[in-house]
Amino acid sequence: MRRLIVILSALVFVVTSCHRKTLLEPEHHHGSEVVIDLKVSVSVDANLDHESALAYEAVLATAKSVTIVAYPKGPTSVYGVHKIKGLSGSIWLMPGTYDLLIYTSDFNELDGIYYTNLDNLEKVEAYTSQAKISKTKVKSYVIEQPDPLFVHLYENFHVIEGENSLESGLDPMSYKYWFDIDVDGLEYISSVYMEIDGMYTSVYMADGSHNEDEYALQKIETQICRDENKIKGEFYSFGPHQDDSVKNTMVLTFINGRTIKVQLDDISDEIKKLVKGGEIPINQKIVINVGDSGAGFEPEVGEWDEEEVNIPI
């Protein structure tokens, strides 16, 4: 028995030693090292003010990983998909010239964004789970809310023999929207959700353009703030469809034993201005009347900032 124990112990030592050797030996890499240092910096432009850029930067700083897709532009360059932890790290590329697509949507336990055509820079597309609603000229879908998405295309990056360095910022390609609505009578409501129509279904990551032949409906959970007599909500989206024929319809659904749907007035023109996120300016007030007779919802036509919508329940 003692001999058997000695043999087993020796075997365990050999296995453990081999395992440690595998862990301690550096991996062998082909090509030249590219040291990547991504800055927590979001560009300000006509559609994104300084305050909003700072808010996006706070999100970007929490990225768990970043993906770099190398598209060759010369005979010695080699296509490849690489990943670094956090916002800094190293990848290895064969010497040559590349377009580098740098992106991350890795912020949650499960990444809610999918990617297609990754091997074709002009057609790389980010999208979420979706279900088709109609087959009209402009196709309509219901989509899941995208996660935050940050992207940068670094063109004509030259890799030489030896160590290379790359510094860059990343800019959002899914955008944060928020709203609040005045509501009297929230004590009679158990939950509320919003549906907003006419949003983009996806984004082409090389240039931030969209599929103009599609639009999406998104369902947003809201927070009931009874102490403020408000409902509030926030969500991410690929942005509002810019075609004037596509309306950004908003419908509130109130639930308390029965379900009542309320369509808000059309403010598509205001929503379409929020190309890269922002507050949706809903100025209607909802009044929930308990015990009121009346079977339907008939909003009166009045001045936008003075109108009240009465809901009998």
**pLDDT tens-digit series, residues 140-156:** 999 999 999 999 999 99
Q: What tens digit of pLDDT does each residue of 89-130 get?
A: 999 999 999 999 999 999 998 889 999 999 999 999 999 998
**Strands, E assignment, 135-289:** 139-143, 150-159, 164-168, 171-172, 175-184, 191-199, 202-204, 214-221, 223-225, 230-237, 250-256, 258-263, 278-279, 285-289
CA distance 168 to 160: 19
Q: Does the residue 293 lie in any domain? A: yes
Give the C-alpha distances (Å, rounded to integers) separating 223 from 158, 181, 226: 50, 11, 9
Residues 69 and 193 placed together within one structural domain of the fold: no
Residues 158 and 262 placed together within one structural domain of the fold: no
Q: How many domains, in total, are found in the chain?
A: 2
Task: Label residue 277 left, alpha or beta by phi (over 0 means left) and psi (-120 to 50 means alpha).
Answer: left
Residues 267 and 192 placed together within one structural domain of the fold: yes
DSSP SS3 for 169: coil
Kindly report the pTM of this predicted structure: 0.84
Residues 90 and 167 placed together within one structural domain of the fold: yes
CB 92 within 8 A of CB 29: yes
Q: How many helices (H) and strands (E) does the chain have?
A: 3, 23
- Banded pLDDT at 82 (limits 50, 70, 90): very high
The 3-class secondary structure across 68-120, one letter per residue, is: EEEEECCCCCCCEEEEEECCEEEEEECCEEEEEEEEECCCCCCCCCEEECCCC
Model confidence at 43: pLDDT above 60? yes
CA distance 138 to 129: 18
* β-bridge pairing 285-289 and 164-168: unpaired
Residues 168 and 191 placed together within one structural domain of the fold: no
List all residues 6 or more positions away from 282 whose beta carbon is below 8 Å from its beta carbon. 179, 180, 181, 250, 264, 267
Residues 161 and 215 placed together within one structural domain of the fold: no
* β-bridge pairing 139-143 and 214-221: parallel
DSSP SS3 for 55: helix
Q: Does the residue 244 lie in any domain? A: yes
What is the predicted pLDDT for the residue at 27? Answer: 55
**Hey, what are 270's tokens?**
């205001």
What is the predicted pLDDT for the residue at 135? Answer: 59
Residues 180 and 168 placed together within one structural domain of the fold: no
What is the predicted pLDDT for the residue at 63? Answer: 97
Give the DSSP H/E element, type plus range, for residue 53.
Answer: helix 50-60
Q: Picking from 233-247, 262-276, 278-292, which range would have the lowest pLDDT averaged per residue?
A: 278-292
Question: Phi and psi at residue 200, in whole multiples of 5°?
Answer: -70, 150
Residues 164 and 189 placed together within one structural domain of the fold: no
Range of the domain at 85: 29-111+147-172
